[in-house]
Structure formats: C-alpha cells, structure tokens
C-alpha cells in the first residue's frame, strides 16, 4: 500500500522537482485539477452507459474467473457459506492447493479478498458452486457511483496573485 501511494505521488510530482515552493504547489494543483476533470468525465461516461462497477474491478473478475473450472468445490454447511476449494491445476500466484472460503465472514485463505475486497478465484468458484451472485461480496468503493463521487469535486481556477 505504501509503495502504491509513493508511486502516485511521484507520478504527480514528475517534472516538478527543484521548483520553488509556490511553483511546486501551483503545478501540483493544476495537475490534480486536470486529473479530476479527466477521471470525472470517464466515470460519468461509464455511469451513463449503465456500468455498475469500475473497469478495474471487471478486469480483475474476468482474470480471476479464468481458473474456476480447474477447482473442486466442497460445501460444508446447509447455508452455503463454508467451502473448501481444492485446486486441481497450478494457478499463477497460488502457494498451496486447498483453501477455505467463508462467505459469511468475507474470508479466503489466500488473503486476496481481505486485502483488496475483490472476489478471488476461490471465492468466485464457491459462489458459482452455491449459485450465489459474486456482486454482493464486492466492496462499495468499486461501484461506479462511489468512483464518480470521488471525482465529483471540482478545482477552481487560481486567480492572479494581485487580486
């Protein structure tokens, strides 16, 4: 998480190094203003076409869905919330063969879901087996309304210094 934040800050600061403080602040302000305008327009366009979730989430779900056919799912309760997933083939990034998925506690042994709040391939396999909709396990931050609300704020132009 720290690495991602520092990379974001470095991206904003690129080309601003060794500037006087006032010039540095103005540069960051204008870059953020442009970023919010661009991202806000993209989010609005996604909302207008009826997208429910962010594109980043949908790409992650598509990637994670590729491997659910290579898993055996064992259900351990009548309420369809406790599963053991056995991987039959090696899945990139996996360290072990068996994972416990607890849907009612939003947990998977792989840790992916707890870290990113995006259903991992084990959770998707459990949802598919139990005929549950994976969308109910997605954190609200990935909904397009939430993304749009982040970029809803607008930056005001900075007037002349003498005003």
Residue with tokens 């993209």: 42
Q: What is the DSSP letter of 117?
A: S
Q: Using an 8 Å Cβ cutoff, are 80 and 103 in contact? A: yes
Give the pLDDT confidence of 69-126 residue by residue, as tens digits. 888 898 888 888 889 889 887 666 666 688 899 988 989 988 888 888 889 999 999 9
Q: Which pLDDT score, from 0 to 100, does residue 1 have?
A: 44
Query: How long, in residues, is the chain?
Result: 163
This prediction's pTM? 0.71
Tens-digit pLDDT profile for residues 6-41 = 776 777 677 677 778 888 888 888 888 888 888 888
Residues 125 and 101: their CA atoms lie apart, in Å, by 10
What is residue 33's predicted lDDT score, i.e. its pLDDT?
A: 86
Of the candidates 148, 159, 153, which has an alpha carbon nearest to the alpha carbon of residue 46? 148
**Do residue 104 and residue 121 come from a single domain?**
yes
Per-residue pLDDT tens digits for 121-152: 999 999 998 888 999 888 888 899 988 888 88
Residue 71 included in any domain = yes
Tell me, yes or no, whether 44 and 112 share the same domain.
Answer: no
**Cα-Cα-Cα-Cα dihedral sign, residues 99, 100, 102, 107:** negative
DSSP assignment letter at 158: P
Residues 67 and 29 in one domain: no
The answer as to whether 117 is a domain residue is yes
């Amino acid at each position: 998480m720290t690495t991602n934040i520092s990379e974001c800050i470095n991206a904003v600061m690129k080309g601003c190094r060794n500037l006087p403080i006032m010039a540095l602040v103005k540069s960051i302000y204008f870059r953020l203003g442009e970023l919010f305008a661009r991202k806000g327009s993209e989010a609005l366009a996604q909302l207008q076409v009826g997208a429910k979730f962010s594109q980043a989430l949908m790409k992650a779900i598509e990637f994670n869905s590729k491997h659910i056919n290579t898993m055996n799912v064992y259900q351990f309760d009548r309420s369809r919330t406790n599963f053991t997933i056995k991987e039959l083939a090696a899945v990139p990034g996996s360290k072990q063969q068996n994972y416990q998925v607890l849907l009612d506690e939003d947990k998977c042994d792989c840790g992916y879901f707890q870290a990113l709040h995006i259903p991992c391939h084990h959770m998707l396999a459990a949802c598919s087996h139990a005929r549950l909709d994976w969308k109910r396990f997605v954190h609200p931050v990935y909904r397009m309304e939430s993304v749009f609300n982040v970029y809803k704020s607008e930056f005001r132009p900075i007037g002349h210094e003498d005003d």
